[in-house]
Structure 1
């Protein structure tokens, strides 16, 4: 089966046209695969799941906690002290050995469960067409050549090549670290294209945030990109830490030295002093027991356990106690930004209009926060320019925010739209849902989204998108005094200031149009609109990583 799985990766699927991929996999976009063919391919490629590999039993993990030179010495000392009927010493040594084993055993158990979580990244169910009929199946039943249907909110069940797509965007931060959703298409990509540039592909474990697509499965199970990551993690070679190597070396030398000392004492007493064998034996055993540092493993275990507990409080699971010592020798820390140093929750922090600049409090998708201008609270409903901009942000949106089962606010949709939606919720516009008659979805070609809505008995076109593109479509700007000629120099200056603060800029505009209009076309947008303003968006940093980053010597961020 391994050779069959390797065949899945011989093809550069992203470089082939959709027709070539279908032909190579002997699949039909209208009928999919037959049940007989699915069975053959299941036998050939195996189930669409990440292999669990060889898992150690709990007994094996427990016994491995005693595999240490000093532990062997301690167990020998416990036997000897028991023979000498020094029961207090015996039970102290036994307690040290058992506590050491239990701490390591429990910690490894926690780590094993944490490593299992990556398998949950595969979706549970998916819609396919087999034998000409659509059906919902478990994702682990997919095989290469299956035709799958993906829509907003779905988790991609395997690595797939897009055959048809409409406004299809996928959030791939789990693989690439980029928080911005990637717009996909069916065009072949260059052979040298990296993962993030393979726009004709969607990868297992990523999430569809917008649009829909019909795709053909090209890689399953361990051969998917997320499967390869799991394999790399699983195949990491276990290496002995410097501390364990030193302890092992020390234990061997100590054992040899103690035996030589006891042997020399025994020989001296027997051949020189002519002591009785029973007396010499007890004396030699006493020397051995007294020479064994039974407190050393206890001190090591307690010290490492304290380190493990401190790491656990910071949600970092240490698989084995000695790994704590390895962390102390780290001199280079490599980390991605999105979701690690940052929260991966795009947040609107600044609004710039023709008259004023506003600040927005709050972080993430929790719709709690205030609008301020020069440190004074602002009520959006009392500021017509600000209110119109917030309305545009609410309307030009296909995302949703809500609480999950744990009460945390989560986004369904594109992160940038999530930032705008949360901003509008903070202004009390959650229920502002004017009738949408038509829309032009965001695409990389035109870099904007347009929505035609009925608002207060008027038909209005709202736009959001890249500032340079929205500015091209406008000849006026909205102010407290009404419409004024567009001052492009002013907006260019404001964009540079915001960019210098590390903010990603988004522009909004509107235009009141014919009441009878029910459709909107790209050609219609060439008629000049009214520019509302700019919104500055950031991916806020996490609070916890700031400490290590701050304490790191000469940190470099790229």
Structure 2
């Protein structure tokens, strides 16, 4: 039995060859034994993100009262109770309690949303243990385990890839790029940025196509997603402008009320010669009346309404006062495509042999308008659009889902965008796929740069669809469709020129 090394350094796994990786992890392509895996699990701990230190619910509720204006209101409640003004006491306490409950409930919702990042690791993983394939819980993965990857799987830990076959992984959660990354096994430079480490599969990312095998090099908090989770737990809590202004207002208001109260008490006792007890009760009553006990409740309710409005747009606001800061933002910096937050793609234009159509819509939502020269048109007027939409539907492995009004894609984002395009043209995706049964397919591969499908309808008619890189498709074509189902010789110069102009336009937008 091999000696189990419990203390390992963390080299740049993307920069070393496969044999060196296996040697440093003291494992083989057949995987660890069950005994070795158990010992390493005791050493490294489970493959999950640690829960950050949390305040108890009681402490979180009590902190809702940590505001100088609330302190003044509580003091006012005590004084009114001493003066037997019970109605005023109950009103003030009700306002303070409502303020605390609203803030407590809203922050509790935000905390649950923030906890979602710790659920991003895969619940199960297919591994090789002693040369045999087994399915184990993702938490029990250890460095040195050999993991088998297939399309649709979520990567359970950071892996150094050992074998790949058409493997593509969606890494938008780390890099913000919506296009899946093609993976291989060759080492990359030491200083390669995260998005260029093509021999590494990162924990929490999704495999969109292909197969692969990799060795676990990092688990739990040692992974890239774990590092991000750790950075989130170290975020410094800053005071928002609204909280600062309210604190300053409460301080000056309290000082002003105390000064006026002292002046009135002294004037009435020494100059007006009123009884001290009578003057004191009058001054206390005036002081309590001067305190805006409704201000904290109004402020909290207003912020809560803003938070709920943001939540309907899938924005998480952890602290109520932060909503005011968001409202003060005038510039938001993001990456050039906006995929950092949305990770959505959409077909924006369709080029035919005669026309350039533009489409409008939102993300993967299968609704939108079709424009030709800025004029809305009906897709039924152009049969070539229906042919393109049918090919986009049949030569496709993705699926669109509607979850509470939000459309998401399962599979490749490009294929999801093509399905949304087909729906906008008027194609009923499920009906079309049921009418044309797929009988054969050539999966997309970087070597040939295209995907093709063969479909038959119930009358035994065949329909071949193909999509891929423009230069590859042009090389396979001899004719092009024209009106009324006729064809003419392919005008390759036209398509190549339009391809170059589209690429130039894309680079100009990226540079802008």
Matched, 1:467 2:466: no
User: How far has the Cα of 1:419 moved from its partner?
Assistant: 3.8
Q: Once the 2 structures are TM-superposed, how far is the Cα of residue 118 of structure 1 from its aligned partner?
A: 1.5
Structure 2: gaps (5+ residues): none
Which residue matches 2:170? 171
CA distance in 1, matches of 2:128, 2:182: 24
Instruction: Find the counterpart in structure 2 of residue 400 from structure 1.
Output: 398
Matched, 1:123 2:125: no
Instruction: Answer yes or no: is 1:155 the counterpart of 2:175.
Output: no
Q: CA deviation at 1:129?
A: 1.3
Distance in 2 (CA, whole Å) between partners of 1:94 and 1:345 is: 52
Report if the CA contact (8 A) 1:372-1:378 is conserved: no
RMSD: 3.8
Per the alignment, residue 26 of structure 1 pairs with 26
Q: What is the deviation of 1:165?
A: 0.7
Provide the residue aligned with 2:212 in structure 1. Answer: 213
| Structure 1 residues 97 and 15: alpha-carbon distance in aligned structure 2, compared to 1, 3 A threshold | same
Distance in 1, matches of 2:298 and 2:406, equals: 41
Separation in 1 of the partners of 2:6 and 2:75?
50
Q: Closer, same or farther in 2 for the Cα pair 1:292/1:178, shift >3 Å?
A: same
Q: Secondary structure at the match of 1:65?
A: helix
> How many residue pairs were aligned?
495
Query: Residue by residue, what CA displacement relative to the aligned partner does 1:230-279 show, whole Å, maximum 9, x if unpaired?
Result: 22222211112223223323333443444444445545555666654433
1:193 pairs with 2:188: no
Structure 1, unaligned stretches of length 5 or more?
Answer: 504-537, 539-555
**Change beyond 3 A, Cα 1:6–1:69:** farther
Alignment of 1:400-549 (within 5 A): 400-401=398-399, 403=401, 410-420=408-418, 427=427, 429-430=432-433, 431-436=435-440, 439=442, 441-443=444-446, 446-449=448-451, 463-471=466-474, 473-474=475-476, 476-480=478-482, 485-496=489-500, 498-499=502-503
Shift in Å, 1:28: 1.4
Q: Which shows bigger deviation, 281-290 or 423-432?
A: 423-432
CA contact (8 A) 1:173 1:338 kept: no
Deviation for aligned residue 1:190: 1.1
Aligned counterparts of 1:46 and 1:501: Cα–Cα separation in 2: 51
- The alignment status of 1:113 with 2:115, answered yes or no, reads no
In 2: Cα distance, 1:330 partner to 1:419 partner: 31
Moved more, 175-184 or 416-425: 416-425
How far apart, in 1, do the equivalents of 2:326 and 2:32 lie? 51
Contact 1:108–1:319 under 8 Å retained in 2: yes
In structure 2, the residue matched to 1:202 is: 201
* TM-score, normalised with respect to structure 1: 0.77
**CA 1:313–1:266: 2 relative to 1, 3 Å:** same
Q: Secondary structure of 1:490's partner?
A: helix
SS of the residue corresponding to residue 239 of structure 2 reads coil
Which residue pairs with 1:541 in the alignment?
Answer: none
Q: Tell me the distance in 2 between the aligned counterparts of 1:458 and 1:241.
A: 66
Secondary structure of 2:179's partner? coil
Q: Quick one: structure 1 residues 240 and 395, their matched pair in 2 at CA, closer, same or farther if it must change by over 3 Å?
A: closer
Query: CA separation of 1:400/1:333 partners in 2, compared to 1, >3 Å: closer, same or farther?
Result: closer
